[in-house]
Amino acid sequence: MTTHLPVTPAWTCGGCGADWPCQPRRRELRAEYDSASVSLALYLAAQLVDAAQDLTHIPANHLHHRFLGWTR
């Protein structure tokens, strides 16, 4: 089980303190959703919606890049 889970409402990583999803969690998610890229995108989109409600001070394009921009 990962220690790199989001701590809300700041959406930082509980494992390393970086913005979530942090680099270690991104690697874990890529491995977990290896042959299910659409499922990964749907999961992250749902997380993005939740984060957008908490992080109203961050522009939407930054959140999009942070949550979905690194996926294929």
Amino acid symbol at 2: T
2: left (phi over 0), alpha (psi -120 to 50) or beta: beta
pTM: 0.92
| pLDDT reported for residue 72 | 76
- Per-residue pLDDT tens digits for 8-36: 999 999 999 999 999 999 999 999 999 99
Cα dihedral 67, 42, 17, 22 in deg (nearest 10):
-60
